Amino acid sequence: MSLNEGIAVVTKVVPSVRCRAADSTASLLTREDLDAGPISLDEIEAGLWLGNASAAADLPTLNRNSIRTILSIDSVPLPVHITDHPNLRVRHVQAADVPREDLIRHFEENNRFIRDSLDAGRHVLVHCYFGVSRSATVVIAYLMEKYRLGYDAAFQRVRAKRRFVMPNPGFVNQLKLYARMGYRIDRTNERYKLFRLRLAGDNVRKAKRLPTECMDVVKGDPGVIQESPEPFVYRCRKCRRVVASRSNLLLHKPKAATAGLSQLPAKVGREAETTLEESAADEAIDTANDAEVGTEASISMAPATGVTELTEQLRRSSISSEQSNRSSDKETPMCSKIYFIEPLAWMTDIYRNTQGRLYCPKCTVKLGSFNWVMATKCPCGAEIFPAFYLVPSKTEYSTVVQNVQVTV
């Protein structure tokens, strides 16, 4: 059936989805201003095509391959003769081909869009500018979710059909994170938290303040009245006001645990450095995620031998399973010299400043510091970016709310 025939098909043009506020220059561009080269597209599996912008903008090509749905992952939308065509369903996700672009947030919706179109018998073309990185990432994410594949297996499937696909390193990390989260966005996942924080830090560096689209990285105040509060918290040592819950902690291994990284060449570039930092952090998070809920019970039975000892026991328990406990002498424990945490709602200065001090919201004593734009070095030698931390001497570990329903 030709796209140019007057068929009685009602389709919906899906409005553009923007990952972040459009750049003033990019907003002036249209697809007609750019040339993606010769038409290029390949069928990855029945009805699912991957190609470049030239293929997506060419009606004869779409008609010849029975393509009725287009998923556009590009900086600018397709020409109006495509986006406004009555027989095409088009979805545009604005994204640049840079490692820090947040594509993972769109994986679930993109997968649903592709799946619904294929189920309706509509062939789908996923494209970016060249059909190499952004669109390949989206197709790989779809295959990973559909067949429950890891990144490498899904990548090889796509590459077998389109040999020059190559997601950039940042997108590869996002795809691997997607698999680790069980092919869904899990906002409680430690890796995802760190990814969103780094993305927010990059945006703060550019805007000099926290943009609206990054507000989700700031978690609720654990010290306000709430039902079923977390039993393990950190309080201001002076006034006993709750300032963080255990789930707000961002654990890391001491620098000695990743000392091998220092042997790499100094001139590796910003993105390469980022990849190494993320790999080291991921290794630490893997250990932390091995924790089993049953270990919490053993903490409450520990003798009261001081805050420091209890805190260290809590940290060891939160990063160890029963199996790892049996060989704990062979493992590197998480650092407890400084408490790095997520940004929290009581930290009012973090919304308008790139760095500063953190004061107790009740007694105003200094508890720590924050820095959105520069890495902060822990006494163990590890560098954390962005950093929000509490000083152990100013805070105390507590289980005071363990058996109550609300806390102030």
Catalytically annotated residues: 128
Round to whole Å and give the CA distance between 165 and 127: 12
Q: Which two tokens stand for residue 128?
A: 């970016």
Is there a contact between 129 and 52 (Cβ–Cβ < 8 Å)?
Answer: yes
Round to whole Å and give the CA distance between 73 and 95: 6
Dihedrals φ, ψ of 184, to 5°? -155, 165
* Helix, strand, or coil (residue 107): helix
Round to whole Å and give the CA distance between 7 and 359: 66
DSSP 8-state assignment for residue 96? -
Residue in 68, 154, 177 with CA at minimum distance from that of residue 113: 68
* Helix, strand, or coil (residue 133): coil
Lookup result for tokens 């986006």: 83
Lookup result for tokens 């709750």: 242
- The burial of 95, by beta-carbon neighbours within 10 Å (0-12 exposed, 13-18 middle, 19 or more buried), is given as buried
* Contacts of residue 275, Cβ cutoff 8 Å, sequence gap at least 6: 99, 169, 170, 173
Q: Return the sign of the alpha-carbon dihedral for residues 197, 199, 202, 204.
A: negative
Round to whole Å and give the CA distance between 16 and 90: 9
Is there a contact between 277 and 197 (Cβ–Cβ < 8 Å)?
Answer: no
Q: Which two tokens stand for residue 223?
A: 């010290």
As a dihedral over the C-alpha atoms of residue 370, residue 375, residue 380, residue 382, rounded to 10 degrees, the angle is: 140
Do the strands 339-340 and 387-390 form a parallel or antiparallel pair, or are they unpaired?
Answer: antiparallel
Round to whole Å and give the CA distance between 30 and 288: 47
Residue in 210, 241, 170, 193 with CA at minimum distance from that of residue 371: 210
